[in-house]
Amino acid sequence: MTTQNDTVPLRIAQRRRYLMCRPDHFTVSYSINPWMEPANPTDTAKAVRQWQALHDAYVALGHQVELIDPVPGLPDMVYTANGGFIVDGRALGVRFRVDERRGEERPFMDWFAAHGFEVVEPVEVQEGEGDFLLVGDTILAGTGFRSVGDSHRELAEVFGREVVSLRLVDPRFYHLDTAITVLDPVEGPTGVERANIAYLPSAFDEASQRVLAERYPDAIHVSDADGAVFGLNAASDGLHVFVSPRATGFAAQLEERGYIPVPIDLSELLLGGGGIKCCTLELRGGAR
């Protein structure tokens, strides 16, 4: 199915359900990724305002946003994508590689349990939707910096879906969701383009680049410049793509494909190494 000019595929917005956490305690007091510089001051009030703009943009476009309470002393809880991975009402908890974030594990699993999800305690080290992305019926799984390869086997066992392993090689893109955007979260109705992605080729090793090229021949290849401003740490409902305003080339590519870029500035939260997708955990299934 195409638009009237018969060149750009029709895009359909699909209502999503997200978990977010207000950055009331946001600061950068330690360094666990190349973006974090504790010597640079952070503005918590600004971080909250920017986060609120993202929250409000989701709600304005019809998406359901639920909140987990922030915990003092856990400034990175705002990056809820790292809190778990949820498909069909089943929530796989996380085991963070870094000690600084281990305190987040239980609050997220407790929230999932309290909201009707079947919680699976993880065995292997992995960081949730930061490294696991659902594309249609397939789970793309990252490794190289945070999540270990054995977590991909565990992921397949828990969800009974195909898991495709991808290796990240650039420390700036330490989670998969910093190097791939899932543009079409689920398969569309008949005639609508199948699930597709955008990605930064240089973030992956050669073998992973070959896998991505074979599986997603129509994917958008994003420039290094747009990747470097966390342009790929974006969220999409199948029509609207919530994206960094600094990723201008990516925004133009999206428009050419029939998507509507929704620029959201999270520059303050980028000081902690997170962007739009990092602040957004998708809740699939479970009680509402």
* Contact in structure between 163 and 133 (CB atoms under 8 Å): no
pLDDT, tens digit (0-9, with 9 covering 90-100), for 210-260: 999 999 999 999 999 999 999 999 999 999 999 999 999 999 999 999 999
pTM of the model: 0.92
pLDDT at site 27: 76
pLDDT at site 1: 41
**Quick one: tokens of 168?**
């990240």
Q: Which whole number is the average pLDDT over 115-142? A: 96
Confidence band, pLDDT 50/70/90 cuts, at residue 40: confident
Tell me which residue of 105, 112, 110, 111 sits closest to 126, measured CA to CA: 105
User: Where is pLDDT greater, at 287 or 235?
Assistant: 235
Q: Which whole number is the average pLDDT over 168-172? A: 95
Mean pLDDT computed over every residue of the chain? 91
Tell me which residue of 284, 253, 273 sits closest to 127, measured CA to CA: 273
pLDDT at site 2: 42
Q: Which whole number is the average pLDDT over 154-159? A: 98
Confidence band, pLDDT 50/70/90 cuts, at residue 35: low
* Contact in structure between 41 and 272 (CB atoms under 8 Å): no
Q: Which active-site residues does the annotation give? A: 175, 278
Whose tokens are 């990747």? That residue is 227
Share of the chain above pLDDT 70, in %: 90
SS3 12: coil
**Quick one: tokens of 210?**
């070959």
Domain boundary assignment for the chain: 17-282
CATH top class, domain 17-282: alpha beta
pLDDT at site 192: 45
**Quick one: tokens of 164?**
């495709």
pLDDT at site 93: 97
Helix residue ranges per DSSP H, 115-266: 150-159, 206-215, 224-228, 248-256
Percent helix, strand and coil across the chain, each rounded to 5?
30, 20, 50
pLDDT, tens digit (0-9, with 9 covering 90-100), for 48-92: 999 999 999 999 999 999 999 999 999 989 999 999 999 999 999
> Has residue 191 got a pLDDT over 60?
no
pLDDT at site 99: 81
Confidence band, pLDDT 50/70/90 cuts, at residue 30: low
Task: Measure the CA–CA gap between 109 and 118, rounded to whole angstroms.
Answer: 10
The beta-carbon contacts of 241-245 under 8 Å, at least 24 apart in sequence, are 241/181, 241/183, 242/54, 242/57, 242/58, 242/276, 243/181, 243/276, 244/275, 244/276
pLDDT, tens digit (0-9, with 9 covering 90-100), for 253-282: 999 999 999 999 999 998 877 899 999 999
Tell me which residue of 91, 44, 63, 74 sits closest to 280, measured CA to CA: 63
* Contact in structure between 227 and 171 (CB atoms under 8 Å): no
User: Where is pLDDT greater, at 185 or 219?
Assistant: 219
Q: What is the DSSP letter of 176?
A: G
User: Where is pLDDT greater, at 129 or 188?
Assistant: 129
pLDDT at site 274: 86
Task: Measure the CA–CA gap between 274 and 104, rounded to whole angstroms.
Answer: 16
pLDDT at site 85: 98
Q: Are strands 240-243 and 138-143 parallel, antiparallel or unpaired?
A: unpaired
> Has residue 140 got a pLDDT over 70?
yes
Residues 6+ apart with CB under 8 A from 195: 135, 136, 182, 183, 184, 185, 186, 187
Tell me which residue of 111, 128, 120, 130 sits closest to 33, measured CA to CA: 130
